Chains A and B, each alone.
Chain A
């Protein structure tokens, strides 16, 4: 009964490849997020969706494209992978669009290694 799940947990791939990371939440939340944690453990928001609609799109290369087929899923597709994309990607969800009143629940993370 995992609340926020991500697949795969580990992803090792070569430069130039295209890969996807999937995220699913069973909490009934209507907002989902993607965060990137770099090698120095710094966490930064990438995207946020509310009811399948993009509401936050930080300065992220357009090689990264989020897709939300429904409220419970937010996938991240990355084209033409580069070495600098190596990081841990966390999915999260919350009940509302405001971070204030609503706790964000995080997935276990996907460790992406680009060689």
Chain B
């Protein structure tokens, strides 16, 4: 079954602390993995995708096929990082949409 699991509903950290948002997936082919972010009262937007292997706003994510994980990391959290983060998966073949995890709310306080 195709599934994305984000085990933490809420992650609270202090400003400057490291952050790791966990994401595990289950997929029977070669998935494409993404992190989407939704800031308060804003639309959902793409943060990272594994295929581009880039760092956005200090966040990185590495696809670990052995552990079927795509954890999102940032060494030093900022208050403006507070948002809802969704891990999502898609197949590479035509006609597939995004399968989202249930999301993790990141709260960064000073």
Contact = CB atoms under 8 A, between A and B. Distances in A.
A33 B102 contact: no
Size category of the binding interface on chain A: 20 to 34
Interface string B23-64: 000000000101000000011111001010000000000000
B81 to A, nearest CB: 18
Contacts of B95: 48, 50, 55-56, 97-98
Contact of B103 (A43, A92, A103): A43
A101 B91 CA distance: 10
A50 B89 CA distance: 19
Contacts of B90: 98-100
Interface residues of B, number: 25
A77 interface: no
Contacts of A106: 43-45
A50 to B, nearest CB: 8
Interface string A82-99: 000000001010001111
B32 A100 contact: yes
A45 B97 contact: yes
Nearest to A44: B100
B17 interface: no
B94 interface: yes
Contacts of B32: 98-101
